[in-house]
Amino acid sequence: MDFERYLKAGRIAAEVRESARKTYHVGSTLFEICESVEAHIRSMNGQPAFPVNTSLNEIAAHYTAEPNDATVVKEDDVLKIDIGVHIDGYIADTAVTVCYNPKYEALVKAAEAALGEAVRMARTNTKASDIGRTIEGTITKFGFRPIQNLSGHSLQQYTIHAGKSIPNIWTIGSSFRLLANEAYAIEPFVTTRDGQGAVHEGQTKNIFGITSRKPIKDKEADELLELIWGRYRSLPFAMRWLTDKYEEKELRRLIVVLTKKKNLHSYPILVEGYDKIVVQAEHTLIPAESTVNVITL
Ligand code: MN
Ligand code: MN
């Protein structure tokens, strides 16, 4: 645990998130948004811990822009901007939902309120299941539904999902208590009352990560694998990040080869079960003995 580097990652992530919250995104492409948010992270001497997620409407998570993605944000869109920043692998993970049609404001308020309540109660020894109960209770009071199969998570150096889940609903059975000096992301996802309250994997896959560095004896593919390892280790990456060295068509071919050989895995987009709107809010925090440091505040 390197608290200073967590704090620095958190400060950068918070500033980049607030800047993204204030920006008017209608008319911009997802490519422009992703590239400018990531450039902002780098300009502050942080590194993106994963490709900025720009998931629209019923897509809850895991969409990042394709190379030259021409998808344009419209007036009625609900856009989740999920940002990860790392300093030497110490990760801050935070998200904001932006929308311009007032009919979605209550949904966003519900997610922010649920996150606020969860952060307020999180301490060393707080039970994760109690946080889930508070999140669900807050969202329900607003008349909406939590996404039950998405959750917060513990973080470790170079690992975004480090094994422990902080639920967004009240789960019975075994749980765990938050540890001092361990980092956790808490991230309520909210959908409307007529949503399923669950996500499933969609067809689109534009975020990848290394599973194995074992060479496959294909010169081009093995070179790409080593480039990815050198740049991103086991952290997620996007094709956009490799078009400085590769032509897009060749890059797609090599990624298919490496995925088939199980050197790479992909993260499919996650879509609301009944295609209803999803919103999200997220902070990263580190409990101490008697207080909590919300590093992305
Ligand atoms: Mn996130
Ligand atoms: Mn997260």
Q: CA 146 to CA 175: how far, in whole Å? A: 19
pLDDT at 110: 98
All domains of the chain, ordered by start, with CATH?
A: 3-200+274-294 (3.90.230.10), 202-269 (1.10.10.10)
pLDDT, tens digit only, all 297 positions of the chain: 799 999 999 999 999 999 999 999 999 999 999 999 999 999 999 999 999 999 999 999 999 999 999 999 999 999 999 999 999 999 999 999 999 999 999 999 999 999 999 999 999 999 999 999 999 999 999 999 999 999 999 999 999 999 999 999 998 887 899 999 999 999 999 999 999 999 999 999 999 999 999 999 999 999 999 999 999 999 999 999 999 999 999 999 999 999 999 999 999 999 999 999 999 999 999 999 889 999 999
Distance between Cα 28 and ligand 1 center (Å): 22
Distance between Cα 81 and ligand 2 center (Å): 12
Neighbours of 223 (CB within 10 A): 14
Find out whether 153 and 164 touch, Cβ atoms under 8 Å. yes
Q: Which residues surround ligand 2, an ion (CB under 5 A)?
A: 93, 185, 187
Ligand nearest to the CA of 165: 2
Q: Tell me the one-letter amino acid at 146.
A: P
Q: What is the pTM of this model?
A: 0.98
pLDDT at 290: 87
Query: What is the maximal distance between C-alpha atoms in the chain?
Result: 57
Ligand nearest to the CA of 151: 2
Distance between Cα 75 and ligand 2 center (Å): 26
Token pair belonging to 52: 């900025």
Distance between Cα 132 and ligand 2 center (Å): 15
Distance between Cα 173 and ligand 2 center (Å): 23
Q: In terms of DSSP bridges, do strands 278-280 and 283-287 run parallel, antiparallel, or are they unpaired?
A: unpaired
Distance between Cα 194 and ligand 2 center (Å): 25
Distance between Cα 131 and ligand 1 center (Å): 17
Residues with active-site annotation: 82, 93, 153, 161, 187, 282
pLDDT at 53: 98
Ligand nearest to the CA of 97: 1
Ligand nearest to the CA of 150: 2
Ligand nearest to the CA of 161: 2
pLDDT at 174: 78
Distance between Cα 213 and ligand 1 center (Å): 26
Distance between Cα 149 and ligand 2 center (Å): 13
